[in-house]
């Protein structure tokens, strides 16, 4: 479906169009972490790397145009977290965006390209809004920590916009000729991604926007602060109260990463029920790449059965039933086989969500 097909080109769709320039370049591991403002410029901070090759330079692109360069900077914290990667300690960056680039723009595409000996090796990209900090209200620290593992509100906003970028690109790319009526953020938490969908609803043709989660406190906060979104508390197991074929697009960030094999099967069937024929379902998984970072040399053994769902996760204690919330990793082969029992697999993007999780783009037959 083509979102807002009758509307004139928006800054959002214009920015997304520049992403094609970087297709075919490997997605790096790393994060955009924070945005600071200095006199006359914005500075975007983060880190990026490949496990087997070090960058000696970074190129900065804004809406497809080369606007600057930098050298990797020291990041002792990354080196401590990834001690088996010799060059992890020099993976940081501080990207400077002059005010002339962002003045008057509602959104643009920021891409950082890592190179060695003038040869591009890997990239990270995100939509960037100069007015990001002045958007929707920020949730309480406890709700942010529940979804991130820490209460950093700046990262909550920046990372949510990047996740929106990673969802909206494939949605626009794989749209058909009908406009979306309704979009659902499945497992929305306290609205980390939902807040950005709601901001860009006019650019998407004005569909109704819904969110749902098993966290009743987070849903109550979203219902009060993220309007005109329609947010619903759901049970850990389907069915939901949503009507059959109700949604044209459903997104799920880091939901399958916490669901056992049994729960995944149940929710795949429910997603097929509530998504309209021809509708899109985009969901992330901990795939082979994530398993390699998590288990290192034991990754192949960890995924020998296709899915590893034995280890529990205590982050949602008191919200999810005991034993429900898990740390789940699954191979690309397993995901494609199991998800294809319910959906047509349109695209499988390694490290396509947060430069760590894999993104599976599916269509309801």
pLDDT digits (tens, 9 = 90+) for 233-273: 999 999 999 999 999 999 999 999 999 999 999 999 999 99
Taking a C-beta distance cutoff of 8 angstroms, is the pair 271, 281 a contact?
yes
Q: How many CA atoms lie within 13 A of 126 on its CB side?
A: 27
The pLDDT of residue 301 is above 90: no
299: confidence class by pLDDT, cuts 50, 70, 90: low
Report how many helices (DSSP H) and strands (DSSP E) the chain contains, helices first.
11, 17
> What DSSP string describes 224-279?
HHSTT-EEEE--SSS--SPPTT-EEEEEESSSGGG--HHHHHHHHHHHHHHEEEEE
**According to the model, what pLDDT value does residue 302 have?**
73
Sign of CA dihedral 283, 288, 291, 292: negative
50's tokens? 């490949």
Lowest mean pLDDT of 61-75, 129-143, 277-291, name the range.
129-143
Residue 298 vs residue 328, higher pLDDT:
328
Which of 99, 84, 109, 94 lies closest to 22, judged by CA? 109
Over residues 334-355, mean pLDDT: 97
Q: Which CATH class, in words, describes the domain spanning 11-128?
A: mainly beta
Domain extent listing, the chain:
11-128, 135-363
77: confidence class by pLDDT, cuts 50, 70, 90: very high
Lowest mean pLDDT of 40-49, 76-85, 94-103, 252-261, name the range.
94-103
3-state secondary structure of 146: helix
Taking a C-beta distance cutoff of 8 angstroms, is the pair 312, 326 a contact?
yes
**According to the model, what pLDDT value does residue 7 have?**
39
Query: Can you tell me the distance from the alpha carbon of 306 to that of 356, in angstroms, rounded to the nearest whole number?
Result: 18
**According to the model, what pLDDT value does residue 38 have?**
74
The pLDDT of residue 5 is above 50: no
| Percent of the chain whose pLDDT exceeds 90 | 76
Taking a C-beta distance cutoff of 8 angstroms, is the pair 339, 323 a contact?
no
Q: Which CATH class, in words, describes the domain spanning 135-363?
A: alpha beta
Q: What is the mean pLDDT of the chain?
A: 91
pLDDT digits over 93-106, tens only? 998 888 777 676 67
Query: Can you tell me the distance from the alpha carbon of 332 to that of 347, in angstroms, rounded to the nearest whole number?
Result: 12
3-state secondary structure of 67: strand
Q: How many CA atoms lie within 13 A of 290 on its CB side?
A: 25
Taking a C-beta distance cutoff of 8 angstroms, is the pair 147, 211 a contact?
no
Over residues 76-81, mean pLDDT: 96
| Percent of the chain whose pLDDT exceeds 70 | 94
Query: Can you tell me the distance from the alpha carbon of 39 to that of 125, in angstroms, rounded to the nearest whole number?
Result: 24
1: confidence class by pLDDT, cuts 50, 70, 90: very low
The pLDDT of residue 8 is above 70: no
> What DSSP string describes 91-128?
-EEEEEEEHHHHTT-S-EEEEEEEEETTEEEEEEEEEE
pLDDT digits over 114-139, tens only? 999 999 999 999 998 877 766 789 99
The pLDDT of residue 3 is above 60: no
């Amino acid at each position: 479906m083509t979102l807002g097909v009758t509307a004139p080109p928006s800054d959002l769709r214009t920015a997304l169009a520049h992403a094609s320039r970087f297709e075919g370049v490997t997605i790096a591991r790393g994060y955009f972490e924070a945005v600071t403002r200095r006199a006359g410029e914005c500075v975007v901070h983060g880190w990026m790397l490949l496990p087997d090759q070090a960058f000696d330079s970074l190129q900065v692109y804004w809406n497809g145009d080369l606007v600057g360069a930098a050298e990797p900077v020291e990041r002792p914290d990354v080196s401590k977290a990834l001690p088996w990667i010799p060059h992890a300690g020099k993976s940081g960056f501080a990207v400077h965006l002059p005010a002339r680039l962002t003045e008057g723009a509602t959104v643009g595409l920021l891409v950082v390209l890592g190179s060695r000996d003038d040869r591009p090796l890997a990239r990270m990209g995100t939509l960037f809004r100069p007015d990001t900090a002045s958007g929707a209200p920020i949730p309480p620290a406890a709700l942010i920590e529940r979804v991130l593992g820490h209460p950093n509100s700046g990262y909550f906003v920046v990372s949510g916009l990047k996740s929106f970028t990673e969802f909206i690109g494939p949605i626009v790319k794989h749209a058909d000729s009908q406009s979306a009526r309704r979009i659902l953020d499945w497992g929305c938490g306290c609205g980390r991604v939902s807040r950005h969908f709601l901001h860009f609803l006019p650019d998407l043709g004005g569909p109704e926007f819904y969110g749902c989660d098993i966290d009743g406190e987070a849903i109550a906060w979203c219902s009060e602060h993220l309007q005109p979104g329609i947010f619903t508390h759901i049970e850990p197991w389907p069915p939901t109260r949503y009507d059959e074929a109700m949604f044209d697009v459903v997104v799920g960030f880091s939901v399958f990463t916490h669901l056992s094999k049994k729960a995944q099967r149940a929710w795949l069937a429910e997603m097929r029920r509530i998504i309209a024929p021809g509708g899109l379902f985009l969901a992330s998984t901990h795939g082979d790449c994530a398993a390699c970072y998590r288990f290192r040399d034991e990754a192949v053994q960890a995924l020998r059965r296709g899915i590893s769902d034995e280890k529990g996760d205590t982050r949602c204690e008191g919200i999810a039933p005991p034993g429900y919330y898990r740390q789940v990793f699954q191979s690309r082969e397993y995901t494609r086989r199991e998800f294809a029992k319910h959906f047509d697999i349109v695209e499988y993007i390694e490290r396509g969500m947060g430069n760590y999780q894999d993104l599976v783009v599916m269509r309801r037959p």
